[in-house]
Structure 1
Amino acid sequence: MNKNLPAVLVIFATFFTISFITNILGPIFPELIKSFDIGIALAGFFPFAFFAAYGVMSIPAGLLAQRLSEKFVMTLAFALAAAGSLLFALLPSFVFAMVALFLIGSAMAFLQVAINPLLRKAGGSEHFAVLSIVAQLLFGAGATLSPIVYVNLADMSQQSGHMLNTLVPAQMSWLSMYWLFAALCFVMLIWGIVTRFEGNNNEEEKAQTYTLKESLALFKNKLVIKFFFAIAAYVALEQGIANTTSLFLEQVHGLDARQVGAGIVSEFWLMLTVGCAAGLILMKLFDVRKVLAWFCIGAGISLVAAIFGSVDIALLAFPAAGFFLSIMWSAIFSLALNSFSHGHGAIAGILCTGIIGGAVISPLIGALAQVSGSLQLSLLLLFFPLGYMLHVAYTSKPIVNNHTIKLFAKRSPEQEA
């Protein structure tokens, strides 16, 4: 299989951009509550508007990627993301915020659907699990930098005479990030346009594209549904932790949301990046299913410590959870696509629809926290998606296994004699 390295580079940069934009919601979550003067349950609809777009747009994105091209889908996505970011920055009201976040979420859905099967084809199916981990490294890097950039931009926007001070309202310094997102999406739009993506689809796969009816019929496939819920479980777990960490540290331990909470969220994503590096090695040595199971168990232990431990333990355990979440997306997505011989564009569309799990978890946590009066109790919901992913790790049977390096070759009976 010929490798398209320029396309791989754009895909890697796109993973960084998706994460940089998506994962700002956690650090600014307490600020959204204050700026719009709303409760935690209503604020949960901000991530709902963003991630609900995946449920609406992922299947159409998969069909477009099959019928037209990944380049068209990516170009459209960055145009949508730039428009949504500008809308948020220019009209920061609750209603327009919901519309803007839905537009940006739609763009991220288009990107996720296009780049995952493209990465598999551009880099080779047998190397997809490892390449996906590299992409996840950049995803983690984007999420790590996003809170750091937010804190610095917010501080600059409050300085008298600074350009940002004239662009954002005094009590909404976090809006400076959406001006940056608009600029970043414009740069990615131009880069995508000048990059050649042709030559990635072989004739056999072109002949096996899915119609809308056939794509919807995939929801009747038990194997597709299994991985659909696995993706939903992962995103629910990831966003459930990322979106509540800063708020948890503020409400339960009395720590400042911007100066401390945003930093811990950044460390959560930094550890996710470090975990990707460790996972990259482990997936070259062991079956991806084993690695997924080990990391699920580690995430569970970290989550228990973060929720019920002291403030010092929580400050360490939340980032530790990020380490163990690091390989889950890559492992599940590679297991899913490598469990089918064709139709990967349509299947990726179904899988990315599962990202709607990120829309469901925040309102659920917020509602349970308000009913029970305990954010700690509400976070126990996160163990349901974690348990399901552990189940997937033990029951998956892919057609193509990840390529591993045999450190110690098995000796034949003749050699042992």
Structure 2
Amino acid sequence: MKKNLPAVGMVLATFFVISFFTNILGPIFPELIQSFDIGLALAGFFPFAFFAAYGVMSIPAGLLVQRTNEKIVILLAFTLSAFGALLFAIFPSFELAMIALFLIGSAMALLQVSINPLLRRCGGSQHFALLSVVAQLMFGAGATLSPVVYLSLSNLAENESTLLSNIVPETMSWLSMYWLFALMSFVMLIWVAATKLENTHSSKDQPRFTWRECAALFRNTTVVKFFFAIAAYVALEQGIANSIGVFLHQTHGLDTKLVGATVVSEFWMMLTVGCFFGLAFMKLYDVRKLLSWFCVGAVVSLSLAITGTAELAVIAFPITGFFLSILWSGLFSLALNSFDKGHGAIAGILCTGIIGGAFASPIIGLFAEAFGSLQMALFTLLIPTGYIFYVAIVAQPIVNNHTIRLFSKKPSEQEA
């Protein structure tokens, strides 16, 4: 199949934007608690409102992609995200924040469902695992820059001589990020409108699924297995990212804005670094082996971050990000490569699993209040890590990731 490189470029940029929007909740989480004067459990409903949208919108998004095309769905998504960001920025109340975050989460669901199968078709199924790591690299870059930009914009908002100080309340400098989100959404609307995607959408390659057929996929044990694996990964990722600032402050007395936001940024930076290594590893090893190895590394580093000293925690949390780096791309590629058709509908179900991120923060908050210890509550994150390890061991894809053999002229069996 002829590649559509402009579409690949737009898809990779979209991964960056999704991450930039999604992962700001981690560094501003302590600020939200302070601004709205709420507890840790109630604050968990901020990410809940965002990620619950994936559970509601992902399957409809997959069906919408089939009945229209990727371009329409992506344009709709960025329109929703622009509206949601403006709603949050202009009316920063707790109730409207829930609605705004749900709208932005709905937009991210539309994007995730439409761009993952698009990336697979643009680059070829054999190279999808590798391209997924590149996409995760962009995702990590967006998440790394988000806290850095947040600190810069917060300082500008607190400076009375800047435009931001006139539109952002003095005690809510973090709202400046949502003005930026609205601007980025408008820019992406223009980019997507100017990109030709029609040639990448093929009704022959993507048979149309009905609501009943999508529901039937939930009876497929392989689909269900990967659905929960995706839910486990997002719960793990967001549970860690949203807890770092609060944990470092409550357990070690470190500043939430300076130290907390910096460690969150380093967490995503190490996830990005891990993607660089993942690009090489994906060409050398079976993705199932990589997933299991990285799960073990994540368990060890997260345990050290939770139980160690303050000095160890600020190092171990970012290292955990390194070991999370290939889990999403590995799971998603294994899932889609376990089927020979219906990838759009399956991607919709997989992205529904992103709802796992909705439950991580509230559950951690509830356990923290029940045990009187956030430290104890964070050990619940070892459960989803163990499940991902299990899925990696038992997965049986019909298309393996393309690998090469060093020091041998004989092509690998997977290239045949």
After TM superposition, the structure 1 = structure 2 runs for residues 199-218 of structure 1, keeping only pairs within 5 Å, are 199-206=199-206, 208-218=207-217
8 Å CA contact 2:286, 2:403 repeated in 1: yes
Q: Which residue of 2 aligns with 1:401?
A: 400
| RMSD, aligned α-carbons | 1.1
Which amino acid letter does the alignment assign opposite residue 330 of structure 2?
Answer: A
- The 5 A counterparts of 1:332-351 are 332-351=331-350
What is the Cα deviation at residue 203 of structure 1?
A: 4.5
Q: Does 1:222 align with 2:221?
A: yes
1:328 equivalent in structure 2: 327
1:192 matches 2:183: no
Deviation at 1:213, TM superposition (A): 1.2
**Cα distance in structure 2, aligned partners of 1:100 and 1:110:** 16
Matches of 1:347 and 1:2 in 2, distance apart?
A: 23
Residue 267 of structure 2 aligns with which residue?
268
Whole-angstrom distance in 2 between the partners of 1:298 and 1:11? 30
Amino acid at match of 1:217: A
CA deviation profile, 1:346-396 (whole Å, cap 9, x unmatched): 000000000000001110000000111000100011011000000011000
> Number of residue pairs matched?
411
Question: What is the rounded CA distance, in whole Å, between the counterparts of 1:180 and 1:336 in structure 2?
Answer: 34
For the pair 1:7 / 2:7, whether they are aligned, the reply is yes
Q: Is the 8 A contact 2:157 2:164 kept in 1?
A: yes
Counterpart residue identity of residue 58, structure 1: S
Distance 1:173 1:254 in 2: 22
The equivalent residue for 2:234 is 235
Give 1:399's aligned amino acid: I
Structure 1 CA distance, aligned partners of 2:203 and 2:179? 42
Q: 1:161: how far off?
A: 1.8
Residues 210-235 of structure 1, C-alpha deviation per residue, up to 9 Å, x if partnerless? 11111111111111000000000000
Q: Secondary structure at the match of 1:398?
A: coil
**1:201: Cα distance to partner?**
3.0
Aligned-partner Cα distance in 1 for 2:205–2:8: 19
Give the structure 1 partner of residue 86 of structure 2: 86
Identify the residue that residue 47 of structure 1 maps to in structure 2: 47
Structure 1 equivalent of residue 38 of structure 2: 38
Distance in 2, matches of 1:107 and 1:203, equals 24
Match of 2:75 in 1: 75
Structure-to-structure mapping, 1:15-26, within 5 angstroms: 15-26=15-26
1:27 match: 27
Post-superposition offset of 1:199: 1.4
Counterpart of 2:138 in structure 1 is 138
Residue of structure 1 in register with 2:154 after alignment:
154
Query: Is 1:104 equivalent to 2:114 in the alignment?
Result: no
What is the rounded CA distance, in whole Å, between the counterparts of 1:197 and 1:2 in structure 2? 13
Question: Which residue matches 2:413?
Answer: none
1:364-403 matches, cutoff 5 A: 364-403=363-402
Number of the residue aligned with 2:295: 296
**Identity within the alignment, %:** 66
> In structure 1, the residue corresponding to 2:204 is in which secondary structure?
helix
Q: Distance in 2 between matches of 1:21 and 1:120?
A: 23
Distance in 2 (CA, whole Å) between partners of 1:326 and 1:300 is 14
Task: Give the 5 Å matches for 1:354-373.
Answer: 354-373=353-372
State the Cα distance separating 1:202 from its structure 2 match. Answer: 3.4
**Cα distance between partner residues in 2 of 1:102 and 1:348:** 20
Which residue does 1:415 correspond to in 2? Answer: none
2:153 maps to 1:182: no
2:172 counterpart of 1:172:
yes
> SS at the partner of 1:205?
coil
Q: Distance in 1 between matches of 2:26 and 2:40?
A: 13
- The Cα of 1:408 is off from its aligned counterpart by 3.4
**d(CA) in 2 for partners of 1:202, 1:187:** 27
Q: Is the 8 A contact 2:156 2:165 kept in 1?
A: yes
Q: Give distance in 2, aligned partners of 1:160 and 1:134.
A: 41
- The answer as to whether partners of 2:81 and 2:107 remain within 8 angstroms in 1 is yes
TM-score, length-scaled by structure 1:
0.97
Q: Distance in 2 between matches of 1:111 and 1:390?
A: 27
Pairwise CA distance, 1:410 = 8.3
Show CA shifts across 1:94-138 (max 9, x none).
000000000000000000000000000011110000001011111
Q: Give the equivalent residue in structure 2 for 1:414.
A: none
In the alignment, the residues of structure 2 paired with residue 228 and residue 213 of structure 1 have an alpha-carbon distance, to the nearest angstrom, of 18
**Distance in 2 between the 1:187 and 1:376 partners?**
41
Structure 2 counterpart SS, 1:204: coil
Task: Tell me the amino acid that sits aligned with residue 122 of structure 1.
Answer: C
